[in-house]
Amino acid sequence: MANDDPLAQEFAHAGEPSALAPELLELEKSRITSTRVLPPMEFLFSLFGEPCFPRRELVAFTGRAKSGKTFVMSMLMVLCVLQEVLSFRRHTEASSPPLRVLWYDTEQSDNSTQDILRNRIIPLYGRVRGRDTPFPEGQFDIFNVRNVERDKREAFLLAAIAHYKPDLVILDGIRDLVGDINDGTVAQELIEKLMRAAQQHGCCIVCVLHQNKSGESRDPRGWLGTELLNKAFDVFATEKLMPQRIFKLEQLYTRKYDIEQCLYFEVDDEGLPVLCQAPPATALPATSDEGERPSLNEDYILHHPDGRWEMDIPKLFTDALTGYETLTGAALRYRVMQLGHIATNNLYRNCLDKAIAGGLLDRARDMNRHVIYSLKRPEVKASVQTIQPDLFQQSEEDTPF
């Protein structure tokens, strides 16, 4: 049988004039087939048992100022030399060598970076291993480049990744590598360089970027944030819940493993993070008194005679799942928030909880351990139709999933 591989054909006729343009020869190196041998995905950590922070990928972290981003970065760095920190676990055996960390701090002063190392990272390690146990500082390459000229910061970072060969890179923050956060060309070029570095050196690069100031979206800020959002494997967000002063970590988007549970922690008297429960006030109601409310889609709001309103949960989730046997957790969230014009993940989760508690949805996992949802059939679907006949009207909204 003739060999259809263009590269194989080229090698067979080595020395003869090439039948393929140089661009096509280069492109052939990127061909994906069902039989091509690729390195398996390798995850550095897991959160609540779900793999996260893969090698050769970018991970985005966003949140408002003082929302706990650096606390979480400290946990991840300590996790590289421990097996477990709060609900995070390292994806290696206890006998395996520790991971190497490159912390590239562009935001804080030298004293602040050192203070976090001395008073948060090292004590977190000592709390598990014992305060008298020497801290493995040799696993950490920590640089503060706030006073370095901006046009040198990117080159220094890429050189450090190539030289020190870290497993985990903490880029805190990526915004200070560019002059204009809304320059689309610069943003695209930077993200592409970081992706190549992660791929070539087998590391996970965590990019920290503040979220949009408007409050309407929790996505990372500017065109740079949009490029990062498009290319990142996972996107996480932190939030400080007041008045309880509790920090919340949530996965916003993922390409593979849904982490539906949020991590809640507070700071103890020693200034170290400890696990805690979610405060009741964090859940926004799906039912409320009449008055000012978010700009929700009126098609999915039920109004009561006494002035109260509530989300039409059956119609909203049924429309979101119309045309699909199942949707992953991330895809369902996208569909529901898009249809309902829901701007906050808290309100979405409250709606999801009501849909599950009301017997509307089934929750399961597929063969790849993705969380998937489907409408319960046929009993629940029939009973919902009896209450509200127009629930299964075909939605015209397209979806990218």
Same domain, 297 and 153: no
Q: Is the pLDDT of residue 317 over 90?
A: yes
162 belongs to a structural domain:
yes
Q: pLDDT band at 219, cuts 50/70/90? A: low
For residue 171, the tally of other CB atoms under 10 A from its CB is: 25
d(CA 370, CA 309): 34
33 belongs to a structural domain:
no
Residue 66: CB partners within 8 Å, gap ≥ 6? 240
The percent of residues in the chain predicted with pLDDT above 70, rounded, is 82
Same domain, 262 and 327: no
Please give the pLDDT value at position 327: 86
Q: Is the pLDDT of residue 155 over 70?
A: yes
| C-beta of residue 205 within 8 angstroms of C-beta of residue 197 | yes
Give the DSSP letter string of 279-318.
PGGGSPPSEE-SSS-----GGGEEE-TTS-EEE-HHHHHH
Give the pair of three-digit tokens for residue 340.
Answer: 């309902």
Same domain, 296 and 264: no
pLDDT tens digits for range 349-367: 888 888 988 899 988 877 7
Q: What is the enclosing helix (H) or strand (E) of 159?
A: helix 150-164
242 belongs to a structural domain:
yes
Same domain, 234 and 372: no
d(CA 365, CA 180): 42
25 belongs to a structural domain:
no
Compute the Cα dihedral for 313, 315, 316, 319 and give only its sign.
positive
Q: pLDDT band at 342, cuts 50/70/90? A: confident
Location of structure tokens 């139709």: 385
At 49, give phi and psi (nearest 5°). 85, -5
What pTM value is reported for the model? 0.72
Same domain, 261 and 304: no
Location of structure tokens 């915004």: 175
Domain boundary among 218, 249, 278: 278
Q: Is the pLDDT of residue 286 over 50?
A: yes
Give the pair of three-digit tokens for residue 285.
Answer: 């109601």
In terms of residues, how long is the chain?
A: 401
Q: At what angle do helices 329-340 and 313-321 cross, to 10 degrees?
A: 120
Q: pLDDT band at 284, cuts 50/70/90? A: very low
- Report the CATH number that the domain containing residue 231 is assigned in CATH: 3.40.50.300
Q: Is the pLDDT of residue 74 over 90?
A: yes
Tell me which residue of 322, 323, 305, 326 sits closest to 314, measured CA to CA.
322
Domain boundary among 278, 312, 342: 278
65 belongs to a structural domain:
yes
| C-beta of residue 242 within 8 angstroms of C-beta of residue 279 | no
204 belongs to a structural domain:
yes
| C-beta of residue 83 within 8 angstroms of C-beta of residue 89 | yes
Q: Is the pLDDT of residue 96 over 60?
A: yes
Same domain, 92 and 110: yes
Domain boundary among 253, 278, 303: 278
Give the pair of three-digit tokens for residue 391.
Answer: 């629930």
How distant is the alpha carbon of residue 298 from its chain centre?
Answer: 30
For residue 6, the tally of other CB atoms under 10 A from its CB is: 15
d(CA 340, CA 48): 29
Q: Which of 200-204, 320-324, 336-340, 352-356 has the highest mean pLDDT?
A: 200-204
Position 48, amino acid? F
Same domain, 267 and 293: no
Please give the pLDDT value at position 214: 53
Please give the pLDDT value at position 386: 32
